[in-house]
Amino acid sequence: MPAQRNESVERALSVLQSFSKRKTRLTLTELSRETELHKTTLLRLTRSLQLYGFLNRDLDGQFSLGASVWQLGLVFRDEFNQGKNIRPFLKMLVRNTGETASFYVRAGNDRVCLYRENSSELEVYGVDEGVRMSLDTGASGLVLRQFSGGAVSDEQRELFNSRFTVCMDGVRNPNIASIATPVFTPSGEFAGALTISGPKTRFDPSLKERYVMLVETAAEELRRQPL
């Protein structure tokens, strides 16, 4: 049975998703462009979001996220309070590969970059901690779908090796390659996807083999940590 949807709720959520680290303050016109909603509709939505503390509006008429978003973010992070155990492994992967390392979890039909360590030598490719992306793209998205009941095609299953590690090139960004492997808790529960990513030109066959081994070793060591 298809899930029932509420158009007003989805419109309000689209307003909140318009903000990012690069777009912390938006005018009504900018919100209209981001959400493709009429300004009159946006004014109604933003008043409700302001009432519940999800949006602020300054004297210049610009909108920004409110404290209620931060409160929910803290609740979410507490549920996945694994940073002190995961970050050292991300840093280790960055040191050993020179690439960027991330840890993704599933949130509804999206994947969330929960923790990330950027390589100091490489350009940042537009993904920050807390960013939500489609579950249908990327090596991490495929790993998350495989272990959380998502749809995985026969063709996609062929991308997994015997330890369910995936190597993918140019899905979200045509210039970027990524490798993702599942991470499990000590009790065997699926915790998320450990990923490294970088310029596709750097992921030649010999390096891929080495990177896969490093990512899988880190995931196995993480399994001994209290996640």
Mean pLDDT of the chain: 88
- Over residues 123-178, the pLDDT tens digits come to 555 577 878 888 998 999 999 999 998 889 999 999 999 999 999 987 767 788 99
Domains parsed from the chain with CATH numbers: 7-73 (1.10.10.10), 80-222 (3.30.450.40)
Contacts 24+ apart (CB under 8 A), 116-123: 116/90, 117/87, 117/90, 117/91, 117/93, 118/94, 119/94, 119/198, 120/94, 122/98, 122/198, 122/199
**Residue 110 burial (CB < 10 Å; 0-12/13-18/19+)?**
middle
- Over residues 174-207, the pLDDT tens digits come to 788 999 999 999 999 999 999 999 988 889 888 9
- Over residues 29-51, the pLDDT tens digits come to 999 999 999 999 999 999 999 99
How many alpha carbons fall within 13 Å on the CB side of residue 106? 21
Tell me the C-alpha distance between 64 and 93, whole Å.
Answer: 35
Tell me the C-alpha distance between 69 and 131, whole Å.
Answer: 14
Q: Are 104 and 140 in contact (CB under 8 A)?
A: yes
- Over residues 88-105, the pLDDT tens digits come to 999 999 999 999 999 999
Residues with Cβ within 8 Å of residue 37, at least 6 apart in sequence: 11, 14, 15, 31, 45
Tell me the C-alpha distance between 195 and 57, whole Å.
Answer: 37
pTM over 0.75: no
Tell me the C-alpha distance between 224 and 205, whole Å.
Answer: 30
Report the amino acid identity of residue 217: T
pLDDT band at 1 (very low <50, low <70, confident <90, very high): very low
